Each structure stands twice: as structure tokens, then as C-alpha cells.
Amino acid sequence: MQLLDIATYFTSESDVSRVAKGRLDEADLSRLYAYPPRPRRPWIRANFVASIDGAVTADGVSAGLGTPADQAVFGVLRSLTDAVLVGAGTVRAENYGGVSLPDDTRRARVDRGLDELPPVVVVTASAELDPDARVFTDTTVTPIVVTTAAASADKKKALSDAGARIVEAGETTVTTGDLLGALDGLGLHRVLCEGGPGLFGQLIADDAVDDVCLTVSPLLVAGSAGRISHSASGAVRRMTRAHVVADDDGTLLTRWVKHRTEH
Ligand SMILES: NC(=O)c1ccc[n+]([C@@H]2O[C@H](COP(=O)([O-])OP(=O)(O)OC[C@H]3O[C@@H](n4cnc5c(N)ncnc54)[C@H](OP(=O)(O)O)[C@@H]3O)[C@@H](O)[C@H]2O)c1
């Protein structure tokens, strides 16, 4: 992977100007994707992969769009975060499991003051999740379900029995304010939202997205796949380009941060 472009960079203490043009290793990528130092509120970063023609899935799942460079950055982003935030639709579609990271990455996280592994935080109004889903059965960290008071008590109990921590953050729906408050209350400030389009669309509509990492996969897929965001009403948010990284297979890795004047 090679750095093509680095633009105004203002979210990190680390000296990214030392990331020279040339081959990037994992340490370089960690510097490029660093969160702001000690965020005092949840910093919402979203990570998506899309095809050249804007599809969010190929054959129904995002893995169909993945490339080695996308996978490498996906791992780096997980290594930097306090929590992986996902909507229930993505958990249902992608058979999500808990986050696993190599031993040396886990040790490096602890050295930097992070927990060894970040929990998965699932947002669901309905609590309609399968207690046998991998997110509950294939994890070493307690998964967190952010849901509503109105969701079925039986469903919430079943998820709790399956090992989840249940956080009620809203009556019939989880507003963005409820969600940010819940993350803040849990001390989860470096947030990595891995989708899906419904959750991301709501966060955009409510102007809560600080940072977008978008991989453009070198594929055209046509068909009827959706985009990386959707919401009931449109919202235009200006972003500033942070960097563009290219891999030999044509993959482009882009990072965008909320426009400076909106900070
Ligand atoms: N290309 C990529 O990088 C990428 C990444 C992620 C997902 N995807 C794809 O996206 C598709 C899923 O799309 P989606 O829009 O259904 O995903 P989603 O945003 O993960 O799921 C939507 C569901 O999440 C819950 N939810 C989201 N926001 C909520 C809120 N604020 N309050 C309460 N509940 C909330 C609701 O679940 P309940 O119905 O349970 O209440 C809602 O029905 C899948 O095909 C997946 O493969 C692609």
C-alpha cells in the first residue's frame, strides 16, 4: 500500500508527516488512522467498503467487496477503537462475532491504555437478535446491546442470559442523542461504526459523524445493492479529506473528517 495524498490532518497528536510516500506498514497505518488524543466525548468513526459504482454489498454481504488492503485497514481500525458499533441489520446479515485481534496487537492496546479487546455494541430498537448468534457465542468480551424500554422483556432477558449487557437508551427508538449518551456513560469514546447503512444514515442525518473511512473496491457490481447510508430525510454534510492510500490491486482507502469549521 502506498500513500497518495495526505491533506489537512488535525485529529492526531502523532507526527503523520513522517509517514513518507512509499510502502506503508501497520505502524504507518496506525498513525494515519489515529483517533484524536483523549477524546472527551464519543468520536464517531464509520468504516465502509463500496464498489466503484457505489454498491454496499456484492452477493448480499460486504465481504464480497473486500480486498487485502481493505482487510488490513479493517484490522488496524479495530486495533485502535474502544468499541465496534453496529446496527442489528448488519449483525443479522453478516453473522458478526466478537472482535479478535492478534496477541501482539492486544498487548500493544494495553500498553496504550486501552482494553485488550473492544466490545461489539449492537443497536436495536426491537431486541430481535438470535441469542445463539455468533456475536453472543463467539466472543471473549461481553457484547453490549443498546435497545429500548419498549422492546420485549423476554427478548432482552434471552440476550442477557446469552451473556450480553443490556443498556436501555430510549423508549421506542434509540435516538442519536440516546446512543451517544449511552456510549459516553460506558466510557466508550473512540467509536468505530462498522455499519450498517441504516445506522450510518441516522448518524449523518443527526450530524454525529466525525470521521469516515471508505474503501473503494476495484469492482463494478450493478444489481440492486443499496448505498452505504440511508435515512428518512436527506442531509448534506461537508467533510475534509484526510488521506488517500492506494494498493497495487486498484483498491483506494480514503479517510474523511468532519469539516474543521464544524468542530
Ligand atoms: N459495505 C459495508 O461496509 C457494509 C457495512 C455494514 C453493513 N453492510 C450491509 O448492509 C446491510 C444491512 O443494512 P441495514 O441498513 O439493515 O443495517 P443496520 O443499520 O446495521 O441495521 C438497521 C437495523 O439496526 C437497528 N438500528 C439501527 N439504528 C438504530 C437506532 N438508532 N435505534 C434503534 N435501532 C437501530 C434496527 O434494528 P431492529 O430492527 O432490530 O430494531 C434497524 O432495523 C447488509 O446487507 C450488510 O451486509 C455493508
The pLDDT profile of the chain, 263 residues, written as one tens digit per residue, is 877 766 545 555 555 665 656 788 899 899 999 999 889 999 999 999 999 999 999 988 888 999 999 999 999 999 999 999 999 999 999 889 999 999 999 999 999 999 999 999 999 999 999 999 999 999 999 999 999 999 999 999 999 999 999 999 999 999 999 999 999 999 999 999 999 999 999 999 999 999 999 999 999 999 999 999 999 988 999 999 999 999 999 999 999 999 866 44
d(CA 223, CA 170): 36
CATH no., domain 40-219: 3.40.430.10
| Nearest atom within ligand 1 for CA of residue 127 | 40
What are the grid coordinates assigned to 262, written together? 464544524
Q: Is the CB of 61 under 6 A from ligand 1?
A: yes
Q: Is the CB of 219 under 6 A from ligand 1?
A: no
| Nearest atom within ligand 1 for CA of residue 87 | 20
Is residue 125 within 8 Å of 172, Cβ to Cβ? Answer: yes
Q: How confident is the model at residue 262, as a pLDDT?
A: 42
Annotate 168-189 with b (16+ C-beta within 10 A) or e (fewer): bbbeeebebebbbbbbeebebb
d(CA 258, CA 245): 19
- Residue 93: how many other CB atoms lie within 10 Å: 15
Q: Is the CB of 93 under 6 A from ligand 1?
A: yes
In the chain, pLDDT over 90 holds for what percent of residues? 82
How far does the centroid of ligand 1 lie from the alpha carbon of residue 126, in Å? 12
How far does the centroid of ligand 1 lie from the alpha carbon of residue 125, in Å? 11
Is residue 139 within 8 Å of 120, Cβ to Cβ? Answer: yes
Q: Is the CB of 150 under 6 A from ligand 1?
A: no
Q: How confident is the model at residue 259, as a pLDDT?
A: 81
Q: Is the CB of 174 under 6 A from ligand 1?
A: yes
How far does the centroid of ligand 1 lie from the alpha carbon of residue 81, in Å? 20
Q: How confident is the model at residue 145, as a pLDDT?
A: 98
What are the grid coordinates assigned to 97, written together? 462475532
How far does the centroid of ligand 1 lie from the alpha carbon of residue 160, in Å? 21
Nearest CA to ligand 1 atom 30: 174
Whole-angstrom CA distances from 256 to 100, 108, 210, 242 are 26, 26, 8, 5
Q: Is the CB of 125 under 6 A from ligand 1?
A: yes
d(CA 229, CA 202): 8
Nearest CA to ligand 1 atom 35: 124
Q: Is the CB of 66 under 6 A from ligand 1?
A: no
Q: Given ligand 1 and candidates 52, 56, 227, which is best to mutate, with the most ligand atoms within 8 Å of its CB?
A: 56
How far does the centroid of ligand 1 lie from the alpha carbon of residue 196, in Å? 4
